[in-house]
Amino acid sequence: MAGTAVPELYCWEMTIDALNIYLASTRKGAAKIGFTLKREFDCMAFFKKQFPGARLIKDSNVNKPLIREIEAALLNRQRRKSIDLDVSCTHFQLKALKAIAGIPFGETKTYGEIASMIGRPKGARAVGQAMKRNPLPLIFP
């Protein structure tokens, strides 16, 4: 359509051992992380189906905050408290992800505990569904 801006999505890829990690960010922040075990795609091809209307640009610079967070997570190092996000999710899902991000390094919580943390003590299954749709695994483990 004339006059409509095509969203730009900056993608990058990393390979650690046999794991291929695909990263996507916008200028606003981290948008998506994906994985494959078999090297079938480059990052542009990986995200093309998931973001059909986006203009894909291969760029490590925009993804630097996401790259640092993933490296820290995979090396079992403490990560920063937050990075800028540009994710598409419901208000509840975002609350669940932010609660998970607030869990201290090395600790774990059940979905029920997370639900209670965000004021929905009977929402364990909903937290599980939010995690199933988690656009940034490793950032929100």
**What is the band of 72 on the pLDDT scale with cuts at 50, 70, 90?**
confident
Are 31 and 13 a contacting pair, CB within 8 Å?
no
Per-residue pLDDT tens digits for 30-52: 999 999 998 778 999 999 988 98
pLDDT at residue 87, as a whole number: 87
Higher-scoring residue by pLDDT: 61, 7: 61
C-alpha to C-alpha distance for 41 and 20, rounded to whole angstroms: 9
pTM score, whole prediction = 0.82
60: pLDDT strictly greater than 90: yes
C-alpha to C-alpha distance for 92 and 100, rounded to whole angstroms: 12
62: pLDDT strictly greater than 90: yes
pLDDT at residue 115, as a whole number: 97
**What is the band of 81 on the pLDDT scale with cuts at 50, 70, 90?**
low
pLDDT at residue 4, as a whole number: 46
Domain definitions of the chain by residue range:
8-74, 91-132
pLDDT at residue 122, as a whole number: 96
Per-residue pLDDT tens digits for 85-133: 898 889 999 999 889 888 887 789 999 999 999 999 999 999 999 999 9
pLDDT at residue 1, as a whole number: 38
Give which of 19, 42, 23 is closest to 34, Cα–Cα. 23
Task: For residue 82, give the 3-state DSSP assignment.
Answer: coil
pLDDT at residue 79, as a whole number: 67
The dotted CATH code for 91-132 is 1.10.10.10
Taking the alpha carbons at both ends of the chain, their separation in whole angstroms is 39
